[in-house]
Amino acid sequence: MADLVTQVGTLSLATPVIAASGTYGYGTEFDGLVDWPGVGGVSVKGISVQPCDGLPATRMVETPAGMLNAIGLQNVGVEAFLNDKLPELAKLGPRIIVNCWGNTPEEFSEVVERLDPAGDLIDAIELNLACPNKKEWGRIFACDPAAVKAIVGPARARTKLPLWVKLSPSVTDITEPATVAAGEGADALCVINTVRGMAIDVERRRPVLSNITGGLSGPAIKPIGLLMVYEASRAVDIPVVGGGGIVSGSDAVEYLMAGACAVQVGTANLYDPAAPARISREIASVLDRLGEARVSGVVGALETSS
């Protein structure tokens, strides 16, 4: 079978498949349900300085070809994560990417600073600038180049760990925030997060979600993700991790061909906890069929000339 080892900058992954933040808990919940050697990495639930209860129910609803969520970044807080969650996850084997957030640039910097001393266990930090469900932000930070600059630069100064930045599809031009993040020292970009949407209960004449709006994920958003990975990867000189609607190895290879060097799998985990390892095996099968010995053979290999 093809060699699945891939690189996200200086970070080597055993496979190009990462379990996306918000869909795999703190990783440990899935022990016994997944073949860990087939998982390149786990991006944990978004961590903040203080614990966060998230939004009230209803927080999730199924939609055609996907789902809407408005969880609100519920998490145990950085101290409980470092003391209780991280040591247990580190025993399982996959690379550990710590997704984190704050309500202000200063809070982003503080949580990054608190995570940095655990660099012997943490492989990368992922700044979540793309959540569509935080009214406290006033807007999606990743849609405002000035906010991207204000968050990424100071966070970069507070850690020696690889710093990834998660971007939002709710922009007209993904290359603008991508370029700003890269210029402020990001080591990789994660493209994309969920797409804003809503669902309505006709009988009650009310929104289904308590937050009114939520983030749409699943196969419905894959065409959006592919386009934005294609555009972002050509605009910056740092690696791009692609995601959005991946449910199979073929989906993942599409992202790799568009320019991603690794992928994040999200919604598929909610109905198939073994999805990351399964998709890794399927990627290997696709590479074998294409006659490629390693992942790098398809990264950015999309041919667009007639």
Do 259 and 302 meet the contact criterion of CB atoms below 8 Å apart? yes
Can you tell me the distance from the alpha carbon of 248 to that of 268, in angstroms, rounded to the nearest whole number?
9
SS3 percent helix, strand, coil of the chain, rounded to 5, is 35, 20, 45
Catalytic residue (one of 52, 131, 190, 261): 131
Do 119 and 61 meet the contact criterion of CB atoms below 8 Å apart? no
Q: Is 280 helix (H, G, I), strand (E, B) or coil?
A: helix
Q: Is 131 among the residues known to form the active site?
A: yes
Do 122 and 161 meet the contact criterion of CB atoms below 8 Å apart? yes
Task: Tell me how far CA of residue 106 lies from CA of 46, 48, 110, in angstroms.
Answer: 16, 12, 6
Beta-bridge mates of residue 17: 263
* CA nearest to 13, candidates 274, 261, 283: 261
Retrieve residue 254's tokens: 């599409």
* CA nearest to 14, candidates 283, 302, 304, 203: 283
Report the relative pairing of strands 213-217 and 163-166 from DSSP bridges.
unpaired
Can you tell me the distance from the alpha carbon of 44 to that of 88, in angstroms, rounded to the nearest whole number?
12
Which residues touch 120 (CB under 8 Å, ≥6 apart)? none
How distant is the alpha carbon of residue 76 from its chain centre? 19
Which residues are known catalytic residues?
A: 131
